[in-house]
């Protein structure tokens, strides 16, 4: 004969809990940088609850907030918690990282060419910004291989399939993006450009001289530029050749 189950044994006894603190999230209307969201969380404040009422609160950092919530939990470590040194931002929506100058393959094809060109070039240091909500990828040039700061200037990369705002035209490369992009696999997202074929320009000017002369950059110039770099094994002179756009700080403000 089955023993009758005491359902009361599974009920949560709220009398054991005391509401001692409250966390308030302070928001503003979202900028375009945080697309697909009506509001952007600006900060959080922690308040004592006294006699059922909120007291004045103090601002609390995201790191302190996580520590507060996980206080008393069993300590555990995982290699997935390790943050590589090239990761700059890993938030709910934004994953931002950089790569120093390195040898890369570029696949280029003019509309008038029968075959594509594969060039092995010294590609400049690059900042990558991936938006998880929209699955958009931005790419910008950097003038140093050192870890960027908020005041580092971002440059227009002289490549095809990229807009003035740094947005890469992903085309059919979306399948190359991991299902759950994170700090450990973000380098795989870079394949959306470096494993893809560049065929056209998405903005009017891609070189500083062209912008100064108000002369639209043609895709044939892009191909010639990288072919020369590949033949001579020269690095890109970022400050001389490329168009400065904005700082990382400005980018993050939206």
Q: Is the pLDDT of residue 136 over 90?
A: yes
Please say whether the beta carbons of 36 and 30 come within 8 A. no
> What mean pLDDT is predicted for residues 116-131?
96
Strand runs labelled E in 35-165:
39-50, 53-54, 58-60, 87-90, 94-99, 102-108, 117-123, 126-131, 136-141, 153-155
Question: Each residue of 184-218: pLDDT tens digit?
Answer: 999 999 999 999 999 999 999 999 999 999 999 99
Spatial CA neighbour of 222 closest among 253, 198, 187: 198
∠41-44-48 over CA atoms, to 5°? 150
Dihedral (Cα; 38, 44, 49, 55), 10-degree rounding: -100
* Segment 150-178, tens digit of pLDDT: 999 999 999 999 999 999 999 889 899 99
H-run or E-run covering 194: helix 191-194
Asked whether the whole model's pTM tops 0.85, one would answer no
Backbone angles phi, psi at 162, to 5 degrees: -130, 140
Q: What is the pLDDT of residue 2?
A: 47
* pLDDT at 6 (0 to 100): 53
Q: Where are the beta strands (DSSP E) in the chain?
A: 21-29, 39-50, 53-54, 58-60, 87-90, 94-99, 102-108, 117-123, 126-131, 136-141, 153-155, 197-198, 244-247
**Distance of alpha carbon 97 from alpha carbon 80, whole angstroms:** 16
């Amino acid at each position: 004969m089955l023993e009758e189950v005491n359902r009361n044994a599974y009920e949560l006894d709220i009398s054991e809990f005391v509401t001692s603190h409250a966390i308030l999230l302070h928001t503003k209307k979202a900028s375009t940088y945080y697309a697909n969201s009506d509001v952007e969380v600006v900060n959080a404040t922690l308040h004592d609850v006294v006699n059922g009422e909120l007291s004045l609160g103090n601002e609390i950092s995201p790191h302190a907030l996580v520590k507060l919530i996980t206080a008393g939990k069993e300590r555990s470590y995982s290699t997935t918690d390790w943050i590589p040194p090239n990761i700059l931002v890993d938030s709910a929506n934004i994953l931002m990282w950089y790569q120093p100058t390195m040898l890369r393959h570029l696949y280029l094809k003019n509309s008038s060419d029968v075959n594509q060109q594969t060039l092995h070039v010294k590609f400049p240091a690059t900042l990558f910004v991936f938006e998880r909500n929209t699955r958009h990828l931005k790419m910008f040039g950097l003038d140093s291989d050192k870890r960027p700061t908020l005041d580092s200037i971002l440059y227009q990369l002289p490549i095809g399939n990229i807009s003035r705002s740094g947005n890469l035209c992903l085309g059919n490369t979306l399948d190359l993006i991991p299902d759950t992009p994170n700090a450990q696999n973000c380098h795989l997202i870079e394949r959306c450009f470096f494993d893809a074929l560049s065929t056209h320009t998405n903005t009017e000017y891609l070189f500083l001289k062209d912008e100064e002369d108000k002369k639209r950059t043609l895709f044939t110039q892009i191909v010639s530029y990288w072919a020369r770099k590949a033949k001579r094994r020269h690095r890109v002179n970022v400050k001389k050749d490329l168009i400065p756009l904005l700082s990382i700080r400005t980018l993050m403000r939206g």
